[in-house]
Structure 1
Amino acid sequence: MVVSDPEVIGQYAYLFTAPQLPLGASWEKVSSAYAALVAGSVGGWVPLTETTAQAAPLICAGLGVGLAFRAGLFNIGAQGQAVVGAMASAWVGFTWHLPPGLHLLVAVTFGMLAGAVWGGIAGVLKARAGAHEVIVTIMLNYIATGLLAFALTTTAFQRPGRADPISPVVDWNATMPRLEGSRLHLGFVLALAAAVLVWFLMERSVAGFTIKSVGLNPHAARTAGMSVSSSTVLAMLIAGALAGLAGVQAALGPNVSGTPTPLSGGLVGSIGFDAITVALLGRSRPLGTVLAGLLFGALHAGGLAMQSQAQTSAELTTVLQALIVLFVAAPALVTTVVPFLKARRAPLTGTTPTGGLSS
């Protein structure tokens, strides 16, 4: 923050003659930036609702990534699954004209189905052909991004009368309803409901027990009569549907003006990649994922306030997110590395020093 402000940097010319000037300017810069971060995320009702709007898709996609983690799968493809979910739901939203309520339900369903299909492709290839899910899902991310770019040049997706790649506006009756005067909308409720359903699936159902067993030890699960292939496909289908729901929220969730943002190449942003961090921070558990999603939603919302109020780069919130992940991973890293280093430094019993003579 300090090095990004030329005026503060200029004050350091007086570091040895009047140190109070650069130190005071640095404190003013940092304190105002963090004050804007807090005010923009939790500093009132409207900032709180902005936090929920930013957190909702992260929670959904994080649930999908976390569920795959617990199945022993590294789902890097949440980004692509969110993209195809946004495409399908937006297309239903601006193409079909159904009654209120039904239109939104159909659009959400299509988006989740599209995400499930995209995740299911990786699951089937993993289960049937042994293809590594990391490689497959990364490739599917590229395909989804390219598919969206191509679709926005076709008459089915491109707004009439426009040459730029942007879709028509989603019908009002396919828009997620919001609380008047705020950013709190149905998407956040759906995210919380999804967390409850994932908890019930993993902790109270036979399918969830099977998924966890396969994730912990696929060989033991197979010996116990569990179908590893079916569990792999099921886990990726559900993970894809949850990531698709994140894309649905990006496509159908109201923006500041109360209408959904038209479908474009950057609509989904980096939701799928941020979801990996959310799932890691939440330990792949539904409650932890919700709390981690709210934290990162607050950082996103506060980052916008930092940029507008304190003239601080919003990318600094990305640095904060990275530091959070580093601190979360630090205990496991220390407990792994320190014993290893001690073992390396400890003398080996029964060995002869290099160049010495044995007695």
Structure 2
Amino acid sequence: MNNKSKLDNILVPVFSVILGLLLGALIMLVFGYNPVAGYQAMLQGAFGNSFYIGETLRQATPLIFTALGFSVAYTAGFFNIGVAGQALLGWLFSVWFALSFPELPGIILLVISLIVGALAGALWAGIAGFLRAYFNTSEVIVTIMLNYTALYTANYLIRNVLSESSDTTARIPEGASLRWAWLADLTNNSTLHGGIFLALIMAVVVWVFMKKTTAGFEIRAVGLNPFASKYAGMSTKRNIIISMLISGSLAGLGGAMEGMGTFQNIFVQGGIPSIGFDGIAVALLGLGNPVGILFSALLFGALKIGGNSMPLAADVPTEVVDIVIASIIFFVGANYLIRSIVDKRAKLNKGGVK
């Protein structure tokens, strides 16, 4: 990748964020709100003290996993819209395992619970991968259907298997928890948990896998041109399934972060968990790059947590945050416009130098 491409990959998300924030400010002005006060409240609510910083990092943690999962499938040429359902099943089965084997030593129980969550997500995504590889079905349609299958299956199991006609399960054993006392002390009793370190490690692992291994190269090659990859002797079917399994396992880990870390249980969901679709947005903003995903997850965490302070501190409704997020994704989707503006600007500057 040349220097110009690298610069464009930085400028596109940066300009997308700036334009999204500007559009949000314009909407606030139109409806009589003070955008300066609104954004000040957001920043204060996201980074104002150690508690808010902890909450922002906690909010970003599952998004890193789901975004990494989506990016792997996207690099392979597939739009895994089912990361939400895969995350939900990862959440469900990690909690289920922890509740079923409370007698296991803490670290063993935690590790196996996380592995179970990852496997649940992988198997759920593998259904779509298998159907795409062998029957050329649309992974978008299949994963959307699987999202709702996961939602209603999880709700049934919570009410009828994991509890006695209740909408929530018991709390997981303390040994299976990602909540660590020193993190709570450091962040003034926020809900930040050890999953943030797992997320950072996994971002490095995914980068190394995709950039430095033969399997990662084959996944990228299939995404760029499946026909040329097949001609070169690569198994497109195998790589389709592998990429979806990896994608689902990462999404499942994102869900396990909610069960083992944030909530310590699982409860009946009124809809598909937002960490799935927010993770897709994070991946798109980060352009599928693990480093970009870390920064965009932090941004989304700040928007979500900081947005909660806007109604009280600035009398700005939290819906403005959703508008800002939607605007950012819109501008990422319309990145060709931003690239065109950047290219024209570069040509004008070059002409001016001449």
Give 3-state SS (helix, strand or coil) of 1:152's partner: helix
Moved more, 222-231 or 35-44: 35-44
1:106 Cα deviation from its structure 2 partner: 1.1
Tell me whether 1:309 sits opposite 2:317 in the alignment. Answer: no
CA contact (8 A) 1:250 1:268 kept: no
Aligned partner (choices 196, 199, 202) of residue 207 of structure 2: 199
User: Are 1:120 and 2:122 an aligned pair?
Assistant: no
Q: Give, in angstroms, the shift of residue 267 of structure 1.
A: 8.9
Distance in 2, Cα, partners of 1:58 & 1:236? 18
1:30 aligns with 35
CA distance in 1, matches of 2:101, 2:272: 22
Alpha carbons of 1:254 and 1:134: their partners in 2 closer, same or farther (altered >3 Å)?
A: closer
Q: Structure 1 residues 2, 193: closer, same or farther in 2, change over 3 A?
A: closer
Alignment match of 1:47 (pick from 38, 49, 52): 52
| Among candidates 162, 166, 169, match of residue 167 of structure 1 | 169
Contact 1:153 1:165 in 2 (8 A): yes
In structure 1, what is the equivalent of residue 267 of structure 2? 263
Where in structure 1 are there 5+ consecutive unaligned residues? Answer: 10-25, 338-359
Give 2:38's aligned amino acid.
A
One-letter code of the match for 2:334?
Answer: A
1:132 positional shift: 1.0
Alpha carbon RMSD of aligned pairs, Å? Answer: 2.4
TM-score by length of 1: 0.81
Q: Paired residue for 1:135, among 111, 132, 141?
A: 141
Identity of aligned residues (%): 39
| AA partner of residue 148 (structure 1) | A
| Alignment partners' CA distance in 2, 1:335 and 1:297 | 27
Q: Establish whether residue 238 from structure 1 lines up as the match of residue 246 from structure 2.
A: yes
Counterpart residue type for residue 56 of structure 2: T
- Give the alignment of 1:77-92 within 5 angstroms: 77-92=82-97
Task: Give 1:192 deviation, angstroms.
Answer: 0.8
Amino acid in the other structure paired with 1:125: L
CA contact (8 A) 1:261 1:267 kept: no
Shift of the 292–3 alpha-carbon distance from structure 1 to 2, 3 Å rule, reads closer
Of residues 264-273 and 216-225 in structure 1, the stretch that sits farther from structure 2 once superposed is 264-273
Higher relative contact order (CA 8 A, sep 6+): 2
Q: Which amino acid aligns with 1:303?
A: G
The question of whether the paired residues in 2 share the 8 Å contact of 1:175 and 1:254 is answered with no
- From 172, 176, 179, give the equivalent of 1:177: 179
**Residue of structure 1 in register with 2:329 after alignment:** 325
Of 128-137 and 236-245, the range deviating more from structure 2: 128-137
Quote the offset at 1:94 in angstroms: 2.0
SS of 1:326's partner is: helix
Aligned residue in 2 for 1:64:
69
CA distance in 1, matches of 2:174, 2:308: 27
The 1-side partners of 2:72 and 2:214 are apart by: 15
Distance 1:263 1:188, change over 3 A: same
Q: Which residue of 1 aligns with 2:286?
A: 282
**Partner Cα distance (1:262, 1:309) in 2:** 32
2:106 is aligned with 1:100: yes
Q: 2:237 aligns with which of 223, 229, 232?
A: 229
2:157 is matched with 151
